[in-house]
Amino acid sequence: MAVPPAGPRARYREQVTAEVRGLAWSQVESAGVSALSLKAIAHQLGMTAPALYRYVGSRDELLTELVLSAYRDLAETVEAAASGEPAARVRGIADAIRAWALASPQRYLLLYGTPVPGYQAPAEATELAQRIFAPLHTALEVLTAGSRTPAGRAGFDRTVRLWTRVHGVLGLELAGHFTTMDVEPERLFADEVTSVLDD
């Protein structure tokens, strides 16, 4: 693996770059994507706005980095949860997704909420979305190997169903629609995961 130049300057550069990403995330997490502001980040770093262009190509590029890193993080979370007995594995992955979403609602909404108008995610996002989908799909396939649900189309449909049910609960929960409704999201979520296992 090629190690990039690691002099003191490169070191400093990486550190500031990390701070930029960190501040960008805290903007998104506290007030959504629309709050992402290069000028605000610069001032929080104690520098003037143009200096930020040493670390960021443009606002759109920064946004793309956030989106991709969120996808990557979720993919890793899902992959890390993919272990154990088949049924428990599906449940484990689903619970990991919910925990990931609740840990940072705006990060989840950045990926699966209302699309940012005029912004088109890069092709890599699609690949990462598949990396998130795959462990769920595999877990469900293992669960029913040689039993009721046939493979192929029907198996794919089942994974999609799991995904939409998971999002159905999370999307409404994160948007606050259960607070006025006497719903226990946790139980509802668990039941929805079970419903797909029982399919």
Partner DNA sequence: TGTACATCAGTGAACGCGCGTTCACTGATGTAC
Q: Where does this chain bind DNA (CB under 7 A)?
A: 7-9, 12-13, 16, 36-40, 46-55, 58-60
32 binds, among DNA, a second copy, none (CB under 5 to 8 A by kind): a second copy
53 binds, among DNA, a second copy, none (CB under 5 to 8 A by kind): DNA
Q: Are 53 and 59 in contact (CB under 8 A)?
A: no
Q: Which of 53, 103, 177, 186 binds a second copy (CB under 8 A)?
A: 177
Query: What CA–CA distance (Å, rounded) separates 77 from 103?
Result: 12
- Letter string b/e over residues 53-78, b meaning 16 or more CB atoms within 10 A of that residue's CB: eebbeeeeebbbbbbbebbeebbebb
Write each residue from 22 to 61 as x if it is in contact with a second copy (CB under 8 A), else as -, in one continuous string: ---------xx-xx--------------------------
Verify binding: residue 109, a second copy, rule CB under 8 A: yes
Residue with Cβ nearer a second copy (55 or 110): 110
Minimum distance of a second copy from residue 36's CB (angstroms)? 11
Considering only the C-alpha atoms of the chain, give the largest distance between any 2 of them, rounded to a whole number of Å. Answer: 63
Question: In degrees, to the nearest 5, what angle opens at C-alpha 120 toward C-alphas 119 and 121?
Answer: 120
Q: Which residues bind a second copy (CB under 8 A)?
A: 31-32, 34-35, 109, 112-115, 117-118, 126, 129, 157, 160-161, 163-169, 171-172, 175-177, 180-181, 183, 188, 191-192, 195
